[in-house]
Structure 1
């Protein structure tokens, strides 16, 4: 039984319990206010009238071309043909033949396609920003020449301060609280790990995953402290089944690099546990986890189910699986139709695959996302709840 709200002061535990209950009730109320309209057309118009910024963090699967502006080798860039050929008709720096998951997320959210954060010129940061960098890890040592997670966090904080200077604290707070923080990290760290540690033991694998998740948790908390409340996490994909890795390890058929698959699964399990804990610890923290691992793995194992003809070999590259060298060497091969391939190059999905994966992320379903879909996260009005909970004058005296 809850303490009477008219009983005056109460203990910290009871107050915390009531705050948590009020938050959930207010969150439910705000979701009812923006519940789907009676027709699909009304729902679409309603979504389009809502402005929610997206801040993107991650590695090459999310990079819109930030690496174009870094002093790194050609292997860390995609600013040359045939990248971009299917949609943009020129290379943008995306490791894809067209649009990526963050691009489709932007389309669903009625935002422009991403420009690199590092691209010179003016930016409308009220729409968010994309800090992702090809080859970026959670850990600096995984690839120090890229925008690893702490560098991306630093740039985000600069954007948050700029929004406050330009728009004022109240407006900036609303943008940051209503925004979605979409991220994809971990794959680079684990590929770096197995390249430097031959035959790692289960204990070594667990310790390394703990270190990666621990550092990533610190990043999440700092985004939260800066004002972020709504997080979308893409978990680590089936690294060991990428054409690049199958070629490197001389595997064929359904065989994959099992140590990488095991480490990715460890990461994904711990990520689920950590986000659940963060939600219990941080007031207003909401999240979605997109199961990139199983979604992409199913495409690889059952390509025709999704409209693909080829899943083990990339569209662009050299070698037995076209697993490397896309556009970087004269003798690279290029397929006639990237839409028939799950992978465009050795480590990155094609635009066709990204469009399907983005649909899973946005619309959700128990096989693809939990505990929410990105669409549901998008509709949550975090700002209203946060402002109410931050008021000193609640129904009871703390």
Structure 2
């Protein structure tokens, strides 16, 4: 099977080798260029500063894996090739700049399935013994990459290898997947989960994320007709007649026959998926479901419409919100959120019940904060304590639906996204006029301590309710939003420095909190997302991102920067919305959100 590693890249992720072309996750978010192969003669000069692909078909973690196809470049050699690229980059931009680039690059590691598929030809007394060897070797390889300045890793687990045409035909399986091979894959994946948790905990400033390819392929195979419109899920589209019941015994080549409609097949050849299958997996990786299941979203910026069901001044279910989507939805944007059609439903929607909750629930509330007093100026809002109460209710519904024994496993594989905290400053400590007395009585550092102390209790409560993978974003440069600019006219055309200083003070304490919780809460994986750095980079270089305006709201009614009145029916909307960084007084535009998404998820998570 073709493996792609390590993908040193600041934009996008290479997914696979398929009929016609490679599938790139970056393509799902608008990226067009493919990461070049290391051995290509054109992979020189400035090209290497954008990413290099070191993968080799049929390679493995172990150097002895699969020798039938002749010479492969196994993982040890792939890393050695990266060492050479690293030296080339250092010679071009300097040691310090290179280290900074590696710190923000994505190292995409997709390998291990071949070590399982061809394990029966390895000299080992048992699978468990061989697995120990594989995991031990993999650990030293990943640590070697870390020592070469890699910090952000996406590591895919093994797919359901017992279901590929090659394994089916090798084991003469007629109708079903080969259970013993899938069991080997599951054992490998379990050990891999433990390894990645160990590395994240022990390697300072590292982030290891497991992409659950096994679950994704299993989902496709179990629902290939009803959910994905495939017709054939057990045989190769590209095959040689008579070479196995499933076309799995001879690789795709010039003598092969190709099925008339490739979009109806799950598998392209004996080992690889079709482009259609890879696109499905790519989409799921981009919406989070292959990076463990996206289950919960505590997201202020993407309130999915919970405030539609409460009495609140903080709502977005009216025009011109949703202007490019065709209708207002309750989200503070003009169009579809990052291009995805399936949104995680709001908790308060009457349709969020039954099996729907097993795919994810959005508990976010516009105006909500960590502190219960936050957002009081809006009237109704759901602050974080109440959001967690709502999750506790959903948790009970899940237990009733799938049973108490299965629920912890579901929650363990879920991703809890917590993006909150900005309102505790914007709509609490920094609220014009009403907060003036509070600012004199309570110093900024004392207020920040109060917010962080409350957040510690809330995140610990989530952990005690079964959350294990928790993604926490810091506070962005709030002094730069149109609302803060207009309510602090003394700043002129600059960002409000006092507001940004408080945000930075909070972010420093938050980072320490996330490190502390990750170290003390057994089995937890806390990821700290540096939104401040991402948004600040866009603000400082907005023209290089294609924006023409980085300080004013494109949906505006009052204020020099359009920041005094929320976007609503009386508001005016600028003609070319893609040129504005901000949609309304508080929120980024769709165009900005796409960029933030690329950096926020791909650089920090992925």
TM-score by structure 1 length? 0.76
Q: What residue is the counterpart of 2:546 in the other structure?
A: 307
Structure 2 counterpart of 1:129, from 341, 352, 361 = 361
CA contact (8 A) 2:193 2:210 kept: no
Corresponding residue of 1:95: 332
- Separation in 1 of the partners of 2:278 and 2:510? 32
By how many angstroms is 1:32 displaced? Answer: 8.2
Residues 367-382 of structure 1 correspond to what in structure 2 (within 5 A)?
Answer: 369=604, 373=605, 375=606
- The separation in 2 between residues aligned to 1:180 and 1:238, in whole angstroms, is 25
CA distance in 1, matches of 2:196, 2:481: 44
1:114 and 2:344 aligned: yes
Question: What is the match of residue 475 of structure 2?
Answer: 236
Report how far residue 233 of structure 1 moved: 1.1
User: How far apart in 2 are the matches of 1:294 and 1:201?
Assistant: 29
Deviations 1:287-344 (A, max 9, x none): 22221112112222221111111111110112211113344363x3210021111000
> CA deviation digits over 1:1-50, x for unaligned, max 9?
xxxxxxxxxxxxxxxxxxxx998537469978968999996876656484
Rounded to whole Å, the distance in 2 between the matches of 1:267 and 1:288 is 16
C-alpha distance 274-342 of structure 1, shift in aligned 2 (>3 A) = same
* Partner SS for 2:346: coil
TM superposition shift of 1:52: 0.8
Q: Measured at CA, do residues 230 and 250 of structure 1 come closer, stay the same or move farther in structure 2, by a change above 3 Å?
A: same
Contact 1:303-1:311 within 8 A present in 2 as well? yes
User: Which residue does 2:297 correspond to in 1?
Assistant: 56
Instruction: Give the Cα separation in 1 of the matches to 2:517 and 2:534.
Output: 25
Deviation per CA, 1:349-395: give whole Å up to 9, x if none. 0111111111112211xxxx3xxx2x3xxxxxxxxxxxxxxxxxxxx
In the alignment, which residue of structure 1 is the partner of 2:308?
A: 68
The question of 1:166 aligning with 2:401 is answered yes
Report the CA distance shift for 1:229/1:43 in structure 2 as closer, same or farther (over 3 A).
farther
Change (3 A) 1:33 1:194: closer
SS in structure 1 at match of 2:550: coil
Greater Rg over alpha carbons, structure: 2
The RMSD of aligned alpha carbons is: 3.1
Query: What's the TM-score once normalised by structure 2's chain length?
Result: 0.51
Q: Give me the whole-angstrom Cα distance separating, in 1, the residues matched to 2:211 and 2:503.
A: 39
Once residues 278 and 601 of structure 2 are traced to their aligned partners in structure 1, the CA distance between those partners, rounded to angstroms, is 15
- In terms of fraction of residues, the more helix-rich structure is 1
For 1:287 and 1:131, the matched residues in 2 are separated by: 19
Counterpart for residue 153 of structure 1: 388
Relative to structure 1, the CA distance from residue 157 to residue 298 in structure 2 (aligned partners, 3 Å threshold; closer, same or farther) is same
Unaligned runs of 5+ in 1: 1-20, 376-398
Report the more deviating stretch, 174-183 or 139-148: 139-148
Runs of 4+ aligned structure 1 residues displaced above 6 Å come to 28-33, 35-43
